[in-house]
Chains A and B, each alone.
Chain A
C-alpha cells in the first residue's frame, strides 16, 4: 500500500487545480463511451447496410418470394411437398452460391436445379445476400484469404495440395468423382462437375451444402482443410493428362465405350477391308 500511496499522494496534490474538474469529466466520458463501444451488443447496421437490406428485400419480393414466401419462411404445396425451403439461417454464403451460379432463381422445380447464367448483377446478389442473412444467423460469404494460396512458399503449397488430395478422396470423391468430374445421384439428381468452378463457389458449396449435398461446415472441415481441397482441385487444372485423353474422366464407362465403339469398331472395319472384293478388270491375262 505504501508503494501505491506515494504516486497517489503526488497526484492528489493537483486535485484542486483549475482544470481538474474538467479533466475528470473528460476521462469519465471517454471511458464510458469507449467501454460502451467495446461491450455493447453489436449495434444496428449502419445506414448503407440497412439500405442494402431494403434493396435486397425488394428484389426478394419480386424474384424469390413465390417459392420461398414473402418473409423467406418457405412455401409448401397442399400435399406437403416443399416448393421452396425456409431461408432463415441459410446465411449470405448460400445466397451468394445459389444466385451467383445461376441456380436460383430456378426456372422450374425438379429433382435438381441446374447451373445457368446468373440473372442478377453482383450488387443485386450482395443485396439479396444481405437481406437473407438478416433473417437469421448463418454462414457468411467467405473471405478470399480463406481459400487463397497467396503468401505460401512452394513447399507449403505442395503440402496443401497433397493434404487436400487426401481429404478430397475421403470426403468428396464418392459423389464428385476422383478428379471432380461429377456423377449421378438417385432419382434424377446428380453431383455436378466441380472442375473449373471458382474457388469462392467451391468453398461456399462446402459451407452450405446446396440441394442434396451434405454440409462440410467449418466445424466439420476446417477453413484450412477446405483451402487445401481447393488447392488440390486447382492443381488438377494445371497438371497435364499424362496418360492420354481423359474422355471426361468418368472412369470405366466412357473408357469402355471408347474401347467397344471406336476400338472394336475400327477392328471390324479393317477386317471388312481385308476380306473385301478387290477391283477386277475385264481384261484377260496375256498368256505368257
Chain B
C-alpha cells in the first residue's frame, strides 16, 4: 500500500491542517513501474541490464585486443590520422565503464525496490537538554584541568604550540639558497661569467660580446638585416664551447636559466621611426635590441608588428613600444621593457656594450 511509507500524523498536526482554507489533499497514490506489474517487462529489463554488463565485458576484451594489436612508438598505427592504440584503448575503456555504469543505473531504476520515502523537515539545532549537557561537560573539564588556576601550565602549553608552528618555516630553507644578486645580472655582463667562460673569452681577443641568432648561434652583421627584420637573439657565450673538451660552456639547467634572463629581440626599423633619444642612443642604424622577457610575469615575447613597432606579449597582452624606450602601451606590465645598448665590433658584427642597466623580467621583492 502506498500510504505505508508515510509517517503517522499526530492529532495536533491534523488539528492545524483543518484550520487551513484548503484541506491538505495528502500525497497522490503510488504508481507502479511497468516492470513491477508486468512480468514480461521485468524479464526484458533484466535482459537489458545483463546486456549492458555483457557489453562492458566485450569492451574489456576489446581493450586487451587493442593493446596487443596496435603498434605504438616511432611508427604508430593510425585510424583516420589518429593514433590507433590510444583511440581504441580509450574507446574500449569507455564502452566498459559506460556499460557497467548504465547497467547499474538501469538495474536500480527498473528492478530494485520502488519505495517512496518522505522525510519531514526539522530544526537544525540540538535540543535544549543536549546543549546544556555539552556546556556542563566543558565547564567540568575547565574546572578539573585547572586551566584558569594554573597560568604557568597554560602559558607554557601555548608557547610549545607556537614553537611547533615555527618548524615548517625552518623547512622553507630547503627551497634553496637565496638568489642574492643573480636576478640583477645576465650573461651580457662579462664580470659574472664563470672562470671557464673567462678563459674562453681570453682566447677570443675581443672586447665586446656579439649578439648571435638563437638556435643556430651565428653572428649578425648590420648589413644582414633589412628594415622590418626581427631576430630572436642570445649572447654568444651561450653557444661557445671549450676548445679542448668541445663541451658547451653553458648547458642543462644553467643554459635554461641563462636563456630565461639574457634572451633578446633585435628589430630593424627606419632610424627616423625611433621616438626617444635613449632608444636612439642605444641603437645602431635603426637596429634596436630589447629584452625578450616580459616585465609582467616573464613570458618570452616576440609578437612584433613591423608596421607599428609594437611588441606584444602572448600571455596577457602587455604591449611595448619599441620606438620609445620599450614604454608600456597596454596591458598589466608595470615596467618598460629593458633595452640593451648595441654597438658594432671590429669585424662589423652586432655586439652588446654591456649588461642591461636594470634587472630584466618581472618585478621581485628585493628589486624595490
Give the interface of A toward B (CB within 8 A). 163, 166-167, 170-171, 174-175, 183, 185-186, 189, 209, 211-217, 219-222, 225, 240-245, 273-274, 278-286
Contact = CB atoms under 8 A, between A and B. Distances in A.
Contacts of B78: 240
Interface stretch (B27-35, B133-141, B164-172, B277-285): B27-35
Contacts of A213: 306
Given A281-B36, A281-B38, A282-B31, A217 B226 contact: yes
B231 A281 contact: no
Interface in B78-125: 78, 81-83, 86-87, 90, 105, 109-110
The 8 closest A-B pairs by CB, nearest first: A219-B224, A214-B230, A242-B83, A215-B228, A280-B31, A212-B305, A283-B37, A174-B302
Nearest to A212: B305
B82 A240 contact: yes
Contact of B306 (A214, A219, A220, A240): A214
A281 B221 contact: no
A98 to B, nearest CB: 15
Contacts of A244: 82-83, 86-87, 90
A170 B303 contact: no
Interface string B220-242: 11011111111110000000000
Interface in B284-337: 300-308, 310, 312, 314, 317, 319, 330
B305 A220 contact: no
A241 B82 CA distance: 5
Contacts of A274: 105, 109
Interface residues of B, number: 51
A212 B306 contact: yes
A23 B302 CA distance: 67
Contacts of B227: 215
B82 A186 contact: no
A281 B30 CA distance: 10
B154 to A, nearest CB: 52
Nearest to A82: B307
Given A209-B306, A214-B267, A243-B86, 8 more contacts: A170-B232, A171-B230, A214-B229, A215-B227, A217-B225, A225-B216, A278-B33, A286-B37
A255 B77 CA distance: 24
B82 A283 contact: no
21 contacts: A163-B215, A171-B214, A186-B319, A215-B227, A215-B306, A220-B213, A220-B229, A240-B81, A240-B82, A242-B76, A242-B83, A243-B83, A244-B90, A273-B105, A279-B33, A280-B32, A280-B33, A280-B34, A281-B32, A281-B36, A286-B37
Contact of B225 (A219, A222, A240, A242): A219
Contact of B36 (A214, A221, A222, A285): A285
Contacts of A225: 216
Contacts of A273: 105
A278 B41 CA distance: 13
Given A185-B312, A241-B83, A244-B86, A281 B230 contact: no
A274 B102 CA distance: 9
Contacts of A220: 213, 224-226, 229-231
B32 A186 contact: no
Nearest to B299: A174
